Structure 1
């Protein structure tokens, strides 16, 4: 983590303090960025190959793959010190909330396609693709991200400090009895 410390050292003190204070949100946003990339790669990989006529199905699969990646990264990095639930209960809640968020992610795309008719033959292909990207990838992802942030902190990882962070070297010290106490 020396690279992060170096970057943080270059920032002005007020900004550095703000980022440190909201580091959990910053990590969550970083995971979101990674999962955004996963969603795009999977969705457009499918749309350009086997699901050319099913954009909503392609997006749903992309979101599902990104959700699995999200669980691992959020559990082990973003919210690694939070907890308060047994692992299987935590995972079940994570995936239920992520399922709701995936549904929320689909709503703007469905509205654009079926309510606003922003799909061929009603509009041109370029207009449809721009609409699909803005409504499905950008708006849908933002709505789902805000919901996930709130719900994860509220129900999945409710207790701050439930899983104390072990810094390198502390694990070895904890395993050895304190020689000075003898």
Structure 2
């Protein structure tokens, strides 16, 4: 499927897409898991965990992380490896666990250092601050950390699993 999309991209953009294929796939997985994370976070924060936004965020990130492992291993980093599966999974969840701290830090700063929470601010301001700090800043920082950690520790070796077919030049 990826090759079918790549063949339709005009040159010189195709070469750039091929060069950064792994990063593009990682970003697409990140976008997918961002939607999952956002949906779970909003659902929990507005129902079961109204008074516990940090707990809601942690649960949302954990659900998204499980999906992320599957998609990243089987698609984004499908040619990378170098570790036994159980070591790879343990390192993935360790890096992702550290990523939870990175993801939640901006939300914690917003809520508990800047006091951007009711009654100090309006509910609308609190919700905007939560979204920006938790879903934008936190996700960007966490994604950068995870990209580095996954390539460095979880999937360190290139081309050890399946080979990527070459896209014919048009």
Would you say same fold, with TM above 0.5?
yes
Aligned to 1:91: 89
Structure 1 stretches lacking a partner, 5+ long: 168-182
Q: Kindly name which structure, 1 or 2, has the bigger radius of gyration based on alpha carbons.
A: 1
The structure-2 alpha-carbon separation of the partners of 1:158 and 1:7, relative to structure 1 and needing over 3 Å to count, comes to: closer
Q: What is the TM-score normalised by the length of structure 1?
A: 0.87
SS in 2 for 1:165: coil
Of residues 114, 118, 124 in structure 1, which corresponds to 2:116? 118
Aligned to 1:129: 127
Aligned to 1:68: 66
* Higher RCO (CA 8 Å, separation ≥ 6 residues): 2
User: Which 4+ stretches in 1 moved above 3 angstroms?
Assistant: 4-10
CA distance in 2, matches of 1:83, 1:160: 7
CA deviation profile, 1:1-35 (whole Å, cap 9, x unmatched): 2xx55543443301111011110001000100010
CA distance in 2, matches of 1:149, 1:166: 20
- Cα RMSD of the aligned pairs, angstroms, is 1.4
Aligned to 1:47: 45
Is residue 18 of structure 1 aligned with residue 6 of structure 2?
no
Is residue 138 of structure 1 aligned with residue 136 of structure 2?
yes
SS in 2 for 1:18: helix
SS in 2 for 1:13: coil
Q: How far apart are 1:52 and its partner, in Å?
A: 1.3
Structure 2 stretches lacking a partner, 5+ long: 166-170
